[in-house]
Copies of this chain bind each other. A is one copy, B any other.
């Protein structure tokens, strides 16, 4: 082996090792896990996200933000978050002075995403914001600008991108297992209850099922095809005499057309339980049902004329911990999240197009 090729070989080996374990050096450098502040202590924050820091390598719970003092006390004590790191919404901006907090995770009603993202960025913190990113594309653009101005990273909580079955589906499709995608059929909905919840309040939610659960159908159609739609159809069905649907839509099903010719038929519903997709090409199909739930994903495929269940390649972490760590890793290595602000903005622009298509009864070109 010549000197040059040997050096090249060593460099390549080091690069490969670094790629496989990208954070070893940096994690040692910083010698700490990045600190998250959880903003908004509802069900998803307290029951789904906060317990998952235990499985994180690069992330830890460092602060809490809530409008309810009892919640701050309860969860602060439960998770060992000191009183000095518990913030009311009024006092939230003081988080700028807390060096223990690197990231703010915004888990509020949708219409508050923008203001808290902007305040977090102004406080010098990186931000992860739940989906939908905001209630308008204009708000999304403002959030992206605020984080850019502050030099901070912005991620949107598209956790399915970190989930084993969804990762496997994307890989199979990209590897050509089903041939070119022809149809994505994806249904997301649940039977919503209490008419007084914020999800049914237009001012807080920005819309109905599409904002909350139909966005999973939309985002899945995009990550499964790997394309951006060029045309949108939609059809709404809402019983306005139902006390739940005075302000927001119940069902708004939509169709997408992609540049390759791939199509998507998508359900978005607040009066039917469904959580699944099937992607079909000339060579077969891939189905996950449930597809984007918190747990319990199950995959079936028809590949090489064989139909049956399939276990995806295992992932090192659950989707929640992997998402938390992804942003930490991006900050530590100065990379952009795979689901950054632009990803949230794209969905909001399409959500606006879907609403317009339904309202105007026409195909909207996007």
Contacts and interface: CB of A to CB of B under 8 A. Distances in A.
Contacts of A363: 235, 361-362
A163 interface: no
Contacts of A112: none
A45 B265 CA distance: 34
Contacts of A231: 235, 361
Contacts of A239: 261
A233 B256 CA distance: 12
Contact of A182 (B263, B266, B271, B284): B271
A218 to B, nearest CB: 14
A232 B285 CA distance: 27
A201 interface: no
B362 A183 contact: no
Interface string A216-245: 000000000000000101110111000000
Tell me the number of copies of this protein. 2
A257 interface: yes
B253 A265 contact: yes
Nearest to A254: B255
A286 to B, nearest CB: 12
B253 A235 contact: no
Interface in A29-87: none
Contacts of A274: 183, 278, 280, 285
A8 interface: no
Contact of A272 (B182, B187, B238, B271): B182
A280 B272 CA distance: 6
Interface of A: 182-183, 185, 187, 189, 191, 231, 233-235, 237-239, 251, 253, 255-257, 261-263, 265-267, 269, 271-274, 278, 280-282, 284-285, 302, 361-363
The 8 A-B residue pairs with the shortest CB-CB distance in the complex, in nearest-first order: A361-B363, A272-B280, A182-B272, A265-B265, A235-B255, A362-B362, A233-B233, A237-B261
